[in-house]
Each structure stands twice: as structure tokens, then as C-alpha cells.
């Protein structure tokens, strides 16, 4: 599986420049990441991660568009995912199967260096709306609004999943001032009968200066039935191409801690190779991950 995945990834990357030129000429824009990772946890030693959005203008003035995307993990025998299809208005309003605002900020600290842990622990940092689509096959239709003008950006979304039996609403915001970055999000979940269940929430502060970066976030995945956690992510650029990082999620009472360290080598501004060692569930795992950004 790993060998074929790596061959497929290399083939895709080799075609990426031509695909990007074709997309640009046709008005299609692409944003997101594609990763392939070998790891040392469990019986399956490979995982792919896809988080990509394609945007296509459908009116001459560019006011209306069509957005297609997916958030997916590729494992042997299964493809846990959420697929997005939305009509866009002024690149702010989205109607259809839309991305939750909750996922607008503070992604998993394991996302780049250890995709297996980002998948296994998605409930800590991802929206209930997303994890239920991934794990249970829910189809949450909804409406979202995004305003991403610096230095302040925010998003809101509402969803209803008849297939899945829940409704949700989320709000997220991020603000940057110099080297400081502040982000927060909250998501409420209601049952199909309209009874309020629980919330998910997260709040994070980071500092990025010269070659250093450090971030700390509080994660409150109450709707997922998980303990609170503190997420830590620190990095140092050794050279223009080589960087080191420490990261982890430390849970209330130490019930479900996971942490690790990694070295990252940037081939260019779009491709990075990461080698990481992590500790979770009393197991040490190693991860070799190749990531391409669009």
C-alpha cells in the first residue's frame, strides 16, 4: 500500500505544474494540502490525507461560483471523509454542504508531521459536524459566511444533517497583531428532536518571530465526550529549508496524552518532508510524511 501510494503521490506531484496552469487558464483555483505518510502504529502502516477545495466562477462578474472540496483520510479498506459542494456568493456566502466555521481555525497540531494521529484524534480539534460525516456518514447541509480580511477574520456556519440526526452551529474568529495571533471557535450541537446536546470550543494564542514560533491552545471537545486538552506547538527554523518542532495534546488528568517531535525539510514553498517520533497510548511511533500544498 505504501509503495503504490508513494508512486501515485510522486506521479500527481509531477503533473501538478501542468494541472495548475490548466486550472488557471480555465478559471479554476485550487487550495489545500495532499499528504502521504508511513507510520509505526497498529497493523496498517500508511495513511493519506487530502484537504482540497476547487473553486470555479460561474458568472462573468465573478460574483457567483461553485466550490467542490473534500476532507479525507485514505486507509486500507476505508476512506473516512467529508465532501463539500457549495454555491458561493461574493466568495463569502456558501450554500450547500459547506465547511464548518469551527474548522476555520486551530487545526490539529499533528496534521503536518503525524497525519495518523490527526486522524485518530480528529475529535479534539475538528468540528462535530466534520467527525460525524467522517465516522458515521452524516450529510450536513447548511449555510456559511466567511470574512477573511486581515488582520481580523471570522466565519459562521449552520448545518442540519437529516442523515446523521443532528443540527449544529459554529462561530470562529482569528486576529493578528504583529507577531501575536489569537484564534477562537465554538460549536453547538442539537439532537434531531431539537434538544441542545453539548458544545465544542477552542481558544489559542501563538507567537511567531524570526525563526521561532510557539502556540498554546485550550481544546474543549465536550460534544465528543472527550476530556479537555492543552495543545502545544513550538518550532524553530534551523535554516531556510530545515526546521524542528515539538507538539502535543495533553489531556485533563493525563487520560489521553499524545505528543512528539519532528524535523521538516522544505524542498520548496509547496513540498515538505517530515520525520517525526510520537508517543500515544503507551506506544512510540515513527512517521515519514510528504506534504504538498496548493
pLDDT digits (tens, 9 = 90+) for 1-11: 444 444 444 44
Q: What is the CATH number of the domain that holds 237?
A: 2.40.160.10
DSSP 107: -
| Distance between CA atoms of residues 176 and 80, nearest Å | 33
Mean pLDDT within 149-173: 95
Grade residue 95 by pLDDT with cuts at 50, 70 and 90: very high
Structure-block grid coordinates of residue 252: 485533563
Domain of residue 248 covers 2-293
Dihedral pair phi/psi, residue 164, rounded to 5°: 135, -30
Closest to 204 measured CA to CA, from 105, 131, 285, 132 = 105
pLDDT tens digits along 111-133: 999 999 999 999 999 999 999 99
Structure-block grid coordinates of residue 38: 508511513
Mean pLDDT within 33-60: 91
Give 177's strand partners: 180
Neighbouring C-beta atoms of residue 61, cutoff 10 Å: 6
pTM here? 0.90
How many domains, the chain? 1
Q: Identify which has the larger pLDDT, 198 or 40.
A: 198
Grade residue 41 by pLDDT with cuts at 50, 70 and 90: confident
Alpha-carbon distance values, 106 to 72, 182, 268 (Å): 18, 10, 24
CA 273 to chain centre: 18
DSSP 78: B
Q: Identify which has the larger pLDDT, 6 or 197.
A: 197
Structure-block grid coordinates of residue 138: 452524516
CB 230 within 8 A of CB 211: no
| Distance between CA atoms of residues 213 and 235, nearest Å | 5
Amino acid at each position: 500500500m505504501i509503495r503504490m501510494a508513494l508512486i501515485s503521490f510522486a506521479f500527481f506531484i509531477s503533473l501538478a505544474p501542468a494541472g495548475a496552469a490548466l486550472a488557471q487558464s480555465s478559471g479554476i483555483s485550487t487550495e489545500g494540502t495532499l499528504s502521504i505518510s508511513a507510520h509505526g502504529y497498529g497493523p496498517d502502516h500508511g495513511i493519506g490525507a487530502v484537504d482540497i477545495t476547487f473553486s470555479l466562477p460561474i458568472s462573468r462578474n465573478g460574483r457567483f461560483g461553485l466550490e467542490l472540496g473534500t476532507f479525507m483520510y485514505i486507509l486500507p479498506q476505508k476512506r473516512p471523509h467529508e465532501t463539500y459542494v457549495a454555491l458561493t456568493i461574493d466568495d463569502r456566502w456558501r450554500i450547500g454542504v459547506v465547511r464548518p466555521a469551527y474548522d476555520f481555525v486551530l487545526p490539529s497540531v499533528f496534521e503536518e508531521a503525524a497525519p495518523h494521529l490527526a486522524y485518530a484524534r480528529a475529535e479534539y480539534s475538528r468540528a462535530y459536524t466534520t467527525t460525524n460525516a467522517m465516522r458515521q456518514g452524516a450529510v450536513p447541509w447548511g449555510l456559511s459566511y466567511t470574512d477573511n480580511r486581515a488582520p481580523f477574520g471570522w466565519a459562521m456556519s449552520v448545518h442540519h444533517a437529516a442523515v446523521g440526526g443532528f443540527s449544529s452551529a459554529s462561530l470562529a474568529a482569528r486576529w493578528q497583531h504583529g507577531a501575536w495571533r489569537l484564534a477562537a471557535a465554538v460549536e453547538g450541537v442539537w439532537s434531531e428532536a431539537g434538544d441542545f446536546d453539548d458544545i465544542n470550543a477552542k481558544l489559542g494564542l501563538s507567537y511567531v518571530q524570526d525563526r521561532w514560533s510557539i502556540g498554546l491552545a485550550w481544546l474543549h471537545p465536550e460534544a465528543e465526550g472527550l476530556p479537555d486538552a492543552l495543545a502545544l506547538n513550538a518550532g524553530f527554523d534551523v535554516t531556510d529549508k530545515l526546521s524542528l518542532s515539538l507538539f502535543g495534546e495533553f489531556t485533563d488528568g493525563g487520560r489521553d496524552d499524545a505528543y512528539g517531535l519532528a524535523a521538516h525539510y522544505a524542498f520548496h514553498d509547496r513540498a515538505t518532508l517530515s520525520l517525526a517520533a510520537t508517543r500515544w497510548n503507551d506506544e512510540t511511533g515513527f512517521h515519514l510524511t510528504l506534504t504538498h500544498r496548493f
